[in-house]
Amino acid sequence: MEPLLSIKDLVKVYGKSTRALNGISIDFYPGEFIVVIGPSGAGKSTFIRCINRLIDSTEGNLVFDGDNLEKASGSKLRKERSKIGMIFQHYNLIGRTNVIKNVLHGRLHDTPLYKSIFGFFKHEDKKEAVELLEKVGLKDQIYKRADELSGGQMQRVGICRALLQRPKLLLADEPIASLDPISANIVMEQLHNISKEKKLTCIVNLHQVDYAKKYASRIVGIKKGRVVFDGKPAELSDKIIRSIYEGKESQMTLQNDAAQTGISTGVKEGPALQLTGGQKA
Amino acid sequence: MSNLNQKIKLDQEDSKKPLLIAALICATILFSVIYLKISMIDMMMGLPNFILFFFQNFFPPSLENVQQYIPAVLDTIGYAVIATFLSSILALILGILISENTNKFKSIRMICRALVSVMRNIPFVIWGALLVYIFGLGGIVGVLALIFVTIGFLGKSYAESIDEISGEKLEALRANGASYFQILLHGVLPQFVPSWINWTLFSFEINVRASVVLGLVGAGGIGVLIDTNINLFNYGEALGIIIVIVSIILLTEFVTNTLRKKLI
Amino acid sequence: MEMNYIRVTSKGSIWKMILLVAALVSIFVLAAMLINLNLEQFFARLENVPGVLNSMMAIDASIIPAALLELVTSLSLAFLALVVGVFLAIILSFLAASNITPNNFLSSFIKGSFAVIRSIPSLVWGLMVIASLGFGNTSGFIAMLFSAIAYLVKMFTGSIEDAGYDVIEAMRSTGASWFNIVYHGLLPLCITSFVAWITVRFEGNISESISLGIIGVGGIGLLLTQAIGTYNYAQTTTIVIIICSFMLIIEFLMTRIKSKITHGSR
């Protein structure tokens, strides 16, 4: 099968000598749900931002969907970016704008400026936005200001915004790191189900190993800017996990505990974990 | 144990620095007094003398001719309104050009920053005097001088507020494939609105005050009436006008504060 | 709902928006009609502007020494008024701040009267003082004192009131007197923000002391008025450049001090 995204020798150097990425070569195939794990500072965030060029890599090749990404600029780059959805740790919604407009920001790339100013989006776009919001259980909140929502709700709006781009690839940078365990469960569950339903390829940065094992179809371990593990969740042994988090074990265990309590509380909420999610999250 | 009998310091560091600063301030005061050739007696008696004179001559205020001042009052407020409107728009453009968040060209940033700096740092009365010099007396000069000063003030404040909008939020719009102007209109402006309202209302307060003063240099408005009346020794009349001015300014502050609470 | 029109903005906020824009536009139009600017005359004069600007493109170096001396005068005036102003304002603020005031009536009286004093621009104070004490540095000093105190009292009281009741309560429980609470409790707590306000006011004082020259108090402002009065273009330009660069330096210094005291070192 042709890879959807093919990365060769990706290097990112900050300043003079801080090597955040140290030569990463990896292929991602359509339909995969990839979770990237590693301690903080390993370069996960830089890696994911290099893919849609929010950060420009120092060296390396990126081929996405048959196009060379690293050479694109201006409107060509914007077009390529629109095919890649992204979800952020801090949701990055425009707080003073209402929910549906935030979701519609996902369509800015093919809406001319004079139309978007006055909110003249295509009917089908608006319809899809409402449907997506309905799916994540936020239909009643569409005219609320984004900064009036809870963290879990904001992240679900963030997911809708990314999905409205009708992307081929979905990137998520620590989507649940700022959420409480219950909301984190809902958000991960929805992210997983929707991407499965739409046959989307997902690359998710997580530092919680438990979540990675639960949802991923493939796990990639990054340490000091290098890929140190690449395989099925079942192949990820405790020994490997320990070597990935070597020197930062405290991070791993602490977050493991948090994730565990999260999952156990999540199980209690059983039915709420369906697609619609919990309203109060 | 023997330590207990020694003097126990209350501060760990030795306290020479405050002493040095105090000595420096005293020296500067001394220098200023000598340089200005102000006699200490004049300085001490100046305030009581003035207050005495004020109550003897300016009191009681004469408010008989209040109606005659109304056109001048309206002019004064009108100048401030027009200047605030125009400069809030111009300053927004400059603010966008100055902020690192919205303008990545360093050279343009520096040029705009310098321009705003010059506008802000020349006192507005000096602007007024200069513009009267160039354009001659009249209301337009007043409006122009107010605009110059307000742009200087607002340009800097706006730019700082735009800088404070987190780059993270704009990153999301970039990742969506939005163009520069879309990021500006859908990301920067909505987040900027509260500070925009706040700063602009503040600048309106300043403009009303400045507009009063600009009359003194011949730029129209109520200020010139004070000067004329004092020169004619109509102190009561002058105090009447000052009372009118005080009411305008207090009223302005009240209105802007109410608007601020309502709008934000 | 399938083919129905989907609103992006709720109905209420659209109306609010329209109302706001309409209000703003009508205020602007009203104000423009009110002041009745003579645009024809303005554009007629615009033709002279290039000529004036052209003659202003000159520098008269011979005025520089005198200008610098007068600049020191302006600076000294600003400094003196600041020092005396700070001293008086600190006393008045502790009497006026609602959490420590010895007497509520006194507090309202001080706050009220300084609100009035503050709303009189310093140049107007200048006119009144000159009328009673005559031209000269003493008049400038007194005029600036009014606006400096009024400004500082407002800012200082705000800072003191921000400190709240906690410290006061704790100290009162140890049996401390009013003066003790102020001197050992509130003053150390507020001193950082006081210094920040003082730097802001110093900038304001300098700008005012330069401006006061326009109405006849000494300093570089007076020199500028004379240059303008005698249509001496080169001198005018030189003095304006000196004023501007001096203000830039002061602004830079005050920003440095402010960031130093707010970001630690203490």
- pLDDT 10s digits, A167-218: 999 999 999 888 888 999 999 999 999 889 988 999 999 988 888 888 999 9
Answer yes or no: do A94 and B185 touch at CB < 8 A: no
Report the C-alpha gap between C227 and A38 in whole angstroms.
71
Chain A within 8 Å of C8 (Cβ-Cβ)? Answer: yes
Question: Which one of B176, B181, B186, B198 would you mutate to disrupt binding with A, by most A Cβ within 10 Å of its Cβ?
Answer: B176
C123, C207, C228: residue with CB nearest B216? C123
pLDDT of residue A278: 36
B85, B122, B213: residue with CB nearest C247? B122
Q: Is there a domain that residue C198 lies in? A: yes
Question: Which one of C17, C37, C52 would you mutate to disrupt binding with B, by most B Cβ within 10 Å of its Cβ?
Answer: C37
pLDDT 10s digits, C68-77: 998 998 999 9
Report the C-alpha gap between B73 and B56 in whole angstroms.
27
Name the H helices within chain A: 44-51, 74-82, 99-104, 113-117, 123-135, 151-164, 181-197, 209-215, 238-244, 249-268
**Helix/strand/coil percent split, chain B, to 5:** 80, 0, 20
Beta bridge partners of A28: A5
Residue % of chain B over a pLDDT of 70: 94
Report the C-alpha gap between A270 and A264 in whole angstroms.
10
Residue C212 and residue C182 in one domain: yes
A104, A129, A143: residue with CB nearest C10? A143
Say which residue the tokens 């109520």 belong to: B222
Beta bridge partners of A85: A170
Residue C86: pLDDT above 90? yes
Answer yes or no: do B186 and A106 touch at CB < 8 A: no
Beta bridge partners of A37: A221
State which residue of chain B sits closest to C125, comparing Cα positions: B242
Residue in C92, C70, C89, C242 with CA at minimum distance from that of residue C140: C70
Report the C-alpha gap between C262 and C239 in whole angstroms.
34
End-to-end, the C-alpha distance of chain C in Å comes to: 63
Residue C46 and residue C66 in one domain: no
The chain-wide mean pLDDT, for chain C, equals: 86
Residue C114 near residue C149, CB atoms below 8 Å: yes
Report the C-alpha gap between A27 and B220 in whole angstroms.
73
pLDDT of residue C151: 93
Report the C-alpha gap between B210 and B87 in whole angstroms.
14
Residue C155 and residue C249 in one domain: yes
Residue C73 and residue C134 in one domain: yes
CA dihedral A209, A210, A212, A215 (to 10 degrees): 180
Residue B12: pLDDT above 70? no
pLDDT of residue A262: 42
Q: Write the DSSP symbol of residue B5.
A: G
Answer yes or no: do C211 and B125 touch at CB < 8 A: yes
Residue C24 and residue C61 in one domain: no
Answer yes or no: do C211 and B226 touch at CB < 8 A: no
Residue in B241, B224, B201 with CA at minimum distance from that of residue B61: B241
pLDDT 10s digits, A8-33: 999 999 888 888 898 899 999 998 99
Residue C204 and residue C234 in one domain: yes
Residues B228, B230, B232, B237, CA torsion sign: positive
Give the mean model confidence (pLDDT) for residues B102-111. Answer: 90
Cα Rg of chain A, angstroms: 19
Tell me which of B146-150, C147-151, C173-177 is least confident: C173-177
CA B180, distance to chain mean position in Å, is 33
Answer yes or no: do A123 and C9 touch at CB < 8 A: no
What b-and-e string marks burial along A231-257, b requiring 16 or more CB atoms within 10 Å of the CB? eeeeebeeeebeebbeeeeeebeebbe
Number of helices (H), then strands (E), belonging to chain A: the values are 10, 10
Vertex C191, ends C185 and C197: CA angle to 5°? 145
End-to-end, the C-alpha distance of chain A in Å comes to: 40
Give the mean model confidence (pLDDT) for residues A92-109. Answer: 89
Report the C-alpha gap between C203 and C211 in whole angstroms.
12
Residue C2: pLDDT above 50? no
B172, B176, B190: residue with CB nearest A82? B176
Left (φ > 0), alpha (ψ -120 to 50) or beta: where does C232 sit? beta
Beta bridge partners of A68: A63
* Partners of residue A117 in chain B, C-beta under 8 Å: 185
Report the C-alpha gap between C243 and C81 in whole angstroms.
19
Residue ranges and CATH numbers for the domains of chain A are: 1-83+167-233 (3.40.50.300), 94-166 (no CATH)
Report the C-alpha gap between A189 and B97 in whole angstroms.
43
User: Which domain CATH number covers C132?
Assistant: 1.10.3720.10
pLDDT of residue A171: 93
Residue C53 near residue C224, CB atoms below 8 Å: no
Report the C-alpha gap between A8 and A24 in whole angstroms.
6
Residue % of chain C over a pLDDT of 90: 32
SS3 assignment, position B107: helix
Residue C53: pLDDT above 90? no
Residue C40 and residue C75 in one domain: no
Answer yes or no: do C76 and B118 touch at CB < 8 A: no
Q: Is there a domain that residue C6 lies in? A: no
SS3 assignment, position A67: strand
The chain-wide mean pLDDT, for chain A, equals: 83
pLDDT 10s digits, A125-169: 899 999 999 988 898 888 888 889 998 999 999 999 999 999 999
Number of helices (H), then strands (E), belonging to chain C: the values are 12, 0
Report the C-alpha gap between C200 and C195 in whole angstroms.
9
Chain C within 8 Å of B224 (Cβ-Cβ)? Answer: no
Residue B89: pLDDT above 90? yes
Residue A244: pLDDT above 50? yes
Q: Residue A273 contacts by C-beta under 8 Å, 6 or more apart in sequence?
A: A185, A186, A189, A266
Distances (CA, A) of C30 to B138, B206, B257, C22: 19, 20, 22, 12
Residue in A50, A26, A46, A28 with CA at minimum distance from that of residue A225: A46
Report the C-alpha gap between B83 and B154 in whole angstroms.
12
Report the C-alpha gap between A132 and A104 in whole angstroms.
11
Give the mean model confidence (pLDDT) for residues C122-143. Answer: 87
State which residue of chain A sits closest to B182, comparing Cα positions: A113
The chain-wide mean pLDDT, for chain B, equals: 85
Q: What is the ipTM of this complex?
A: 0.83
Lookup: tokens for C107: 């507090």
pLDDT 10s digits, C200-209: 999 999 999 9
Report the C-alpha gap between A82 and B177 in whole angstroms.
5
Report the C-alpha gap between B212 and B75 in whole angstroms.
10
Residue B262: pLDDT above 70? yes
SS3 assignment, position C158: helix
pLDDT 10s digits, B116-172: 998 888 888 888 888 887 777 777 888 888 998 899 999 999 999 999 887 788 888
CA A145, distance to chain mean position in Å, is 23
pLDDT band at C1 (very low <50, low <70, confident <90, very high): very low
Residue A272: pLDDT above 50? no
State which residue of chain C sits closest to A126, comparing Cα positions: C6
Q: A104 to chain C, minimum CA–CA distance in Å?
A: 9
Answer yes or no: do A104 and C5 touch at CB < 8 A: no
Lookup: tokens for A122: 């295509």
Answer yes or no: do C8 and A100 touch at CB < 8 A: yes
Beta bridge partners of A205: A36, A173
Residue-range definition of the domain harbouring residue C81: 55-262
Residue C44 and residue C66 in one domain: no
* Partners of residue C8 in chain A, C-beta under 8 Å: 98, 100-101, 104, 119, 121, 126
Lookup: tokens for B147: 């605009």
B260 CB neighbour count, 10 Å cutoff: 14
Residue C94 and residue C34 in one domain: no
Q: A165 to chain C, minimum CA–CA distance in Å?
A: 17
**Helix/strand/coil percent split, chain C, to 5:** 80, 0, 20
pLDDT band at A252 (very low <50, low <70, confident <90, very high): low
Q: Is there a domain that residue C5 lies in? A: no
Q: Is there a domain that residue C26 lies in? A: yes
pLDDT 10s digits, B19-52: 888 888 888 888 888 888 877 777 777 788 888 8
Residue A35: pLDDT above 80? yes
The domain segmentation of chain B, as residue ranges, is 9-45, 66-263
Residue % of chain B over a pLDDT of 90: 26
C27, C141, C224: residue with CB nearest B46? C141
Q: A166 to chain C, minimum CA–CA distance in Å?
A: 19
Give phi and psi for A205, each to the nearest 5. Answer: -85, 130
Number of helices (H), then strands (E), belonging to chain B: the values are 11, 0
Q: C20 to chain A, minimum CA–CA distance in Å?
A: 16
Report the C-alpha gap between C78 and B123 in whole angstroms.
14
Q: C39 to chain B, minimum CA–CA distance in Å?
A: 8
Report the C-alpha gap between C193 and B213 in whole angstroms.
30
Residue % of chain A over a pLDDT of 70: 88
pLDDT of residue A28: 92
Report the C-alpha gap between A182 and A188 in whole angstroms.
10
Q: How many CA atoms lie within 13 A of A54 on its CB side?
A: 25
Q: Residue C25 contacts by C-beta under 8 Å, 6 or more apart in sequence?
A: none
Lookup: tokens for A11: 């290097």
Domain boundaries B66-263, corresponding CATH code: 1.10.3720.10
pLDDT band at A266 (very low <50, low <70, confident <90, very high): very low
Residue C41 and residue C125 in one domain: no
Q: Residue B78 contacts by C-beta under 8 Å, 6 or more apart in sequence?
A: C31, C32, C34, C35
Q: Write the DSSP symbol of residue B179.
A: -
pLDDT of residue B14: 61
Report the C-alpha gap between C60 and C69 in whole angstroms.
16
Residue in A66, A64, A87, A70 with CA at minimum distance from that of residue A10: A70
Q: How many structural domains are present in chain C?
A: 2
Answer yes or no: do C52 and B133 touch at CB < 8 A: yes
